[in-house]
A and B are shown apart, each in its own frame.
Chain A
Amino acid sequence: MSRLPQSYEGVAVCCPVTVPYVRFSPESAHWWAGAALQALAAHTGLRPAGIDGFCFASFSAVPDTVVGMVQHLGLCPRWMDHIPTGGASGVMALRRAARAVQAGDAELVVCLAADTNHVDSFRQTLAGFSRFSQDAMYPYGFGGPNATFALMTDHFMRAYGVGRESFAKICMAQRANALSNPHALMKRPLSFDEYMSSRAICDPVHLLDCVMPCAGAEAFIVTTPEKAEAMGLKAVSIKATIERHNAFASDPIQTRGGWAQDVDRLWAAARCEPEDMDMIQFYDDYPVIVAMQMEDLGFCRKGEVAAFIERHDFTIAGTLPLNTNGGQLSAGQAGAAGGFQNITEALRQLLHCPLGAQIPQARRALVSGFGLVNYDRGVCTGAVVLEGPVSHE
């Protein structure tokens, strides 16, 4: 193992904001980004001049990047970044912002993801998604990400003897968690029979394995502990992070993500173990990816995830709370904001200001990112261990 990265001392993460999702919105990504800033301002009294760092993620802001967004929303940062990695964008934004603050390049960074969802957005996003998918994936039946993940799921289930029952347990637990979240798009409980009998979309992926695309925005602040305190904001600290792209490129089909390459460094730097986590907020575009992360992030060995899922209760009151806002599977996938929502949810649980039910005595969280199925697999992965303030009770 090469040298461990420097600690994240002197970095405070605070003020999680979620702009409630809607299934379809006629508004633009810019409108949703503005709504997230407005919500941050309502909590903090921040004005544009108070934001000297800005990190932005979106699919639907095109043709604009962070540059267009900064001018559109009247910001004047001395540090900015654009993160085009979808489901990995939250962890990546957090890492970059943390180092900028630590180095003094910025004092208060707003990390923000916003995406709209027009009636025809999904088809249009797919049609021009990436060069490899346009040349070599989507013309094959045009099933979109459902088809890509169906091939991965098919292979994963055969290779490791995982049945749909395992995925059912993940989806049902997340739905149970979503029921206390007033913003979640899915409002009804999910039964085992309902999951198992949902219609096939791309075998073996069924309707209830798929997220519902929607519009929404997520944001949080990365700053110094001193600044957070001066603003009266409770803050969470970063214990360790990892990031990896295009790992295991010669695996014929993805059965592991980049986490597996860096997981030892993550836990070594965090000075704790998977068992010390009070919650896991995993990127969950499809349940197979949740299962894969349980293995790759060290909760069980490769090939043993079915038994691991069997052993645990993933509800908020359970042995290993998972995606406590319902995750994307039950709360909705607001484009790139889907890569931020598990960070804001972890922050809320650690700061004890949840949208729905609170995990009792929640102190540590593992949050992951998984993004950009450029062709046949997710290319970008990341993870972060967060620790909340000492006393809440």
Chain B
Amino acid sequence: MSDPLLPPQRKDPLKMLHLGHTPPRLRSRAAKAMAVRAGQGRFVLQVCADCQTATYPPRDRCPQCWGELRWTDQPQDAVLLAETVVRATTDSFFRGHLPWRIGTVQFCSGLTAIAHLHGDVATGDAVKMRLVLDRGGNPAFFALPAKETPNMQDDPQLRVFTAAPKHRRILVTDGRSRLGQEVALALLNAGAGTVFLGNADRLMRFDGMDRMLATPRIDMVPLDMTDSRSCQELAGLIGGRVDVIVNTASHVRPGGVSQGSRLSTLQTAMEVNVAGLMRLAQSFGPAMAGRSDDGVNSAAAFVDVNSVYGMTGKQGFVGFAASAAARLALVAGLRGEMAAAGIRVTSVLCGPVDDEWHQTVPSPKVAPARIAKAVVQVLEQGLEEIYVGDVAEDVAQRWLKDPLLATREENQ
């Protein structure tokens, strides 16, 4: 069993913090392709399109017949053959995390791989493998116990690969919406230390306000995403204590391009959904980047709850879809910047949300509570992208297979 993770001590403000190094980042193009799939929570190896042989480490041709390789989902069962404890290293990141356990695992296909080890696995054990992303956004194998053990998630090596909410301080940007409130409650349930919950207009009441104010460990904070000064002022107050940001801000209105359209719908969506994201990243990003290896409550992740229609566009919600597309591009850029600092950047992509702005949209729609569950999941598993609900999964699957076809289908 792992020792339960204790709430961290208050940090000494006079002490120099432990800088946010990242593990070695140089990788082949094939390893980067593996990272993309790791970010989606898949467990993949390359399999030869001709002879069906699986291979590892990432290659560019099959070592049996020189055929082309395809990333293919694989069983996660393996056996631990050998282990060691690294006690000396020249790498700045791992120096801060020694001793570090690694081992050689063998998959049922006979392939072997080096893997990071959970504290509860030992040589000879059957293990359950996960493909995770390290702090620098690169793929890594992690060997977990075959069956859940007490406090398994609290293992210090495992925690390096996740942004688990436990004991972390989390800013949820839009506390006035049902979605923001559900996310806040789910994060508290998952062990978050504090949730700072943004409120864009302190003079106006909102549904759920009394409950939020009455919930311990929720701290309502002023945050207007359309106002740069508001973002900077909040960052000045709590920027050094925010470990995770979950951006739930979203301005959704129906409308077309040439018909039933209002330019102001597009402009407001861009102001809230796109410029707001950038204001948030500008205000909080630098402080988070410096704190990515700062103990139990280190800065860990930036989660953007966005629409899957950013990938395809959406008839009837064109302005909103355009803002979602812009937001995806910003998130991709932010991910690249933050990888160097050790902060995970994640998109939670939803279909139509079951709220007042989607009354005309037929079911299925995704419930805010379901999205909140996905937010907790991406943090606990360290994912980069997840599609939430039946519609989002369907759109994403069609898009991954044939992006132009999916785009045509969503706009007819």
Which of A's residues lie within 8 Å of B, judged by CB? 122-123, 126-128, 131-132, 134-144, 146-147, 150-152, 154-155, 158, 199-205, 249-250, 252-253, 375-376
Contact = CB atoms under 8 A, between A and B. Distances in A.
Interface residues of B, number: 40
B83 A151 contact: yes
A151 B88 contact: no
Interface string B78-108: 0001111111111101100000111110100
Given A202-B86, A376-B112, A141 B28 contact: no
Interface stretch (B19-27, B209-217, B372-380): B19-27
11 contacts: A138-B24, A139-B138, A140-B114, A141-B86, A141-B94, A143-B86, A151-B83, A201-B87, A249-B63, A252-B110, A376-B104
B81 A155 contact: yes
Contacts of A128: 26
B134 interface: yes
Interface string B105-121: 01000101111100000
Contacts of A151: 82-84, 102-104, 114
Contacts of A127: 24, 26
A155 B114 contact: no
A136 B84 contact: no
Smallest CB-CB A-B distances: 9 pairs: A142-B91, A150-B84, A136-B57, A141-B86, A143-B86, A123-B90, A141-B100, A155-B82, A135-B31
A156 to B, nearest CB: 9
A21 B121 CA distance: 43
A146 B114 CA distance: 14
Q: Could you say which of B30, B82, B116 has the most chain A C-beta atoms within 10 Å of its C-beta?
A: B82
Given A154-B123, A376-B112, A253 B81 contact: yes
B88 A201 contact: yes
B84 A205 contact: yes
Contact of B28 (A131, A150, A200, A205): A131
B56 interface: yes
A253 B84 CA distance: 14
Nearest to A152: B82
Interface of B: 23-24, 26-28, 30-31, 56-58, 63, 81-91, 93-94, 100-104, 106, 110, 112-116, 123, 134, 138, 140
A158 B326 CA distance: 57
B88 A203 contact: no
Contacts of A203: 84-85, 87
A146 B28 CA distance: 23
B88 A143 contact: yes
B84 A135 contact: no
B87 A250 contact: no
A102 to B, nearest CB: 34
Contacts of A200: 85, 87
B84 A202 contact: yes
Contacts of A376: 104, 112, 114
B89 A141 contact: yes
A144 B83 contact: no
B114 A136 contact: yes
Contact of A147 (B86, B106, B110, B134): B86
Contacts of B114: 136-137, 140, 151, 376
Nearest to A150: B84
A136 B111 CA distance: 13
Contacts of B102: 140-141, 143, 147, 151
Q: Could you say which of A140, A202, A375 has the most chain B C-beta atoms within 10 Å of its C-beta?
A: A140
Contact of B90 (A144, A205, A249, A253): A144
A134 B84 contact: no
Nearest to A249: B63
A136 B113 contact: yes
Given A141-B89, A154-B83, A202-B85, A135 B112 contact: no
A142 B86 CA distance: 8
B105 to A, nearest CB: 9
Contacts of A147: 84, 86, 102
Given A144-B90, A252-B112, A134 B27 contact: yes
A126 B100 CA distance: 18
Given A139-B24, A142-B94, 11 more contacts: A131-B28, A134-B24, A134-B26, A135-B58, A136-B31, A139-B23, A140-B115, A141-B102, A201-B87, A252-B104, A253-B112
Nearest to B113: A136
B62 to A, nearest CB: 13
